[in-house]
Amino acid sequence: MSRPTVRVLTLLELLQSGGTRTVAELADRLGVDGRTVRRYVDQLIDLDVPVESVRGRYGGYRLAPGYRLPPLMLGDDEALAVLLGLVASRRAGLTPAQRTASETASAKIRRVLPGHLAHRLDTLLEALAFTDRPADRDAPGPGAPDAAAPDTGVLLTVADAVRHRRPVSIRYTARDGRTGERTLHATGLVAHGGRWYVTGQDAGLGEDRTFRLDRIADARTLPGTFEAPDDADPAERLLTGFATAAYRHEVTLRIHATVDHLRAHLPAGIARLEECAPVTEEGRAAERWLRVELRAERLDWLPPLLAALDRPFVIERPDELRTLVAALADRLASSARVAADEEHPDAPGRRRDHG
């Protein structure tokens, strides 16, 4: 929220506290001059807030008698969106003051919610986990900025099933468009890369599965309970599943870099890292390298990323990636030569064309 907007809202709060406030007092409280205070008052009047001007030695501004802001009214979807936004904002590198504001705002919203909705939202927040990677448009991970939002009823029902370890029946549309009923022992909800996922065991197959919530059209809690595995970390299982999922290309690299440097470019949801045997070259000391394994539908995003790493690397597979990296290197070198020729066209050794 912009600073002028914050000051206008602060002005409204001061006027709501009652009485007449002088221009000098308001200017001092807001940290602005009298002319700016009058402009803020005009903005409130434009918003149909009945601010009255009181003339005289002790004049100033006040709200019309009996005026109060309407109570905060939120539907289920609105309350869910606001609270989840506040929770997510706490992970976005906020300052201590901003984190405090986020927490107090969450508390205020909870206090005015109906009891049943407040309980369901608390259940959701208890079941929810976040990964550390934002949406990536070009990387092979499944996160996407334009992902559809999950249905509120589905989200709250699944969260309740996760929290109380109850089976849930879902109607799910797979990637190929086929729709079917599944019985899921849901163990976690994860927000990752702009999408929502539920992890757990498909009771019909007896296998661990991950489902996108926006592809679930209906969810119903079933009778009974189930035992969740002790090591069920939903976020870790989700990221591991993404890193090992089947894609068109399997890529193996050796990169001379620190884990932190690689993770800044290749998060856990994209690539697996492991230390490989030292590489010894003639005349050089043994060096430690990291083996990087990842899967991708496309390879065109990898050459620029490898260039951005600015670290020695070896491509073990596929050959197509070597070709793409070489082509990028040729384009960069060609662009550099063209720029140099245009800057110094008469430099010795430059070829001249005579017509």
List the one residue out of 350, 261, 239, 269 whose CA is nearest residue 311. Answer: 261
d(CA 293, CA 82): 38
126 contacts 87 by C-beta, under 8 angstroms: no
CATH code for position 30: 1.10.10.10
pLDDT, tens digit, 9 for 90 and up, residues 25-39: 899 888 899 899 999
**What's the chain's average pLDDT?**
77
DSSP code, position 64: P
Beta-carbon contacts of residue 170 (< 8 Å; ≥ 6 apart):
154, 158, 181, 182, 183, 184, 211, 216, 218, 219
Looking at per-residue confidence, does 99 or 270 come out higher? 270
211 contacts 198 by C-beta, under 8 angstroms: yes
Is residue 279 located within the same domain as residue 311? yes
Residue 324 pLDDT greater than 80, yes or no: yes
241 contacts 210 by C-beta, under 8 angstroms: yes
Is residue 50 located within the same domain as residue 90? no
Determine the structural domain holding residue 187 and report its residue range: 152-231
Residue 228 pLDDT greater than 80, yes or no: no
The answer to whether residue 88 sits within a structural domain is yes
d(CA 191, CA 131): 7
Residue 138: the pLDDT is 35
End position of a domain, from candidates 231, 266, 287: 231
Residue 198: the pLDDT is 86
Looking at per-residue confidence, does 193 or 60 come out higher? 60
Residue 238: the pLDDT is 75
85 contacts 73 by C-beta, under 8 angstroms: no
Is residue 50 located within the same domain as residue 98? no
Looking at per-residue confidence, does 167 or 190 come out higher? 167
pLDDT, tens digit, 9 for 90 and up, residues 70-82: 665 666 667 767 7
Residue 337: the pLDDT is 80
Percent share of the chain, pLDDT over 70: 74
Average pLDDT over residues 119-131: 74
| C-alpha separations of 345 from 335, 336, 338, 340, 352 in Å | 15, 14, 10, 8, 8
The answer to whether residue 138 sits within a structural domain is no
Is residue 332 located within the same domain as residue 260? yes
Residue 342: the pLDDT is 60
The answer to whether residue 353 sits within a structural domain is no
Looking at per-residue confidence, does 147 or 244 come out higher? 244
CATH code for position 159: 2.30.30.100
Cβ of 302: how many Cβ atoms within 10 Å? 23
Write down the residue that tokens 């064309």 correspond to. Answer: 353
List the one residue out of 152, 259, 253, 246 whose CA is nearest residue 196. Answer: 152
d(CA 12, CA 6): 10
Q: What is the 3-state secondary structure (H, E, C) of 89-130?
A: HCCCCCCHHHHHHHHHHHHHHHHHCCHHHHHHHHHHHHHEEE
The answer to whether residue 227 sits within a structural domain is yes
Rounded to 5 degrees, what are φ and ψ at 298?
-130, 155
Count how many domains the chain has.
4
Is residue 254 located within the same domain as residue 307? yes
pLDDT, tens digit, 9 for 90 and up, residues 1-28: 457 787 888 888 888 877 888 998 899 8
The answer to whether residue 313 sits within a structural domain is yes
Is residue 254 located within the same domain as residue 331? yes
The answer to whether residue 68 sits within a structural domain is no
Q: At 277, list the tokens.
A: 């045997």
List the one residue out of 262, 255, 151, 263 whose CA is nearest residue 196. Answer: 151
The answer to whether residue 132 sits within a structural domain is no
Is residue 81 located within the same domain as residue 59? no
Residue 106: the pLDDT is 73
The answer to whether residue 187 sits within a structural domain is yes
| C-alpha separations of 1 from 7, 8, 39, 107 in Å | 10, 11, 18, 20
58, exposed or middle or buried, with CB in 10 Å at 0-12, 13-18, 19+? exposed
End position of a domain, from candidates 231, 266, 281: 231
Rounded to 5 degrees, what are φ and ψ at 170?
-125, 145
Cβ of 161: how many Cβ atoms within 10 Å? 29
Is residue 257 located within the same domain as residue 281? yes
Residue 252: the pLDDT is 93
Write down the residue that tokens 């905060």 correspond to. Answer: 72
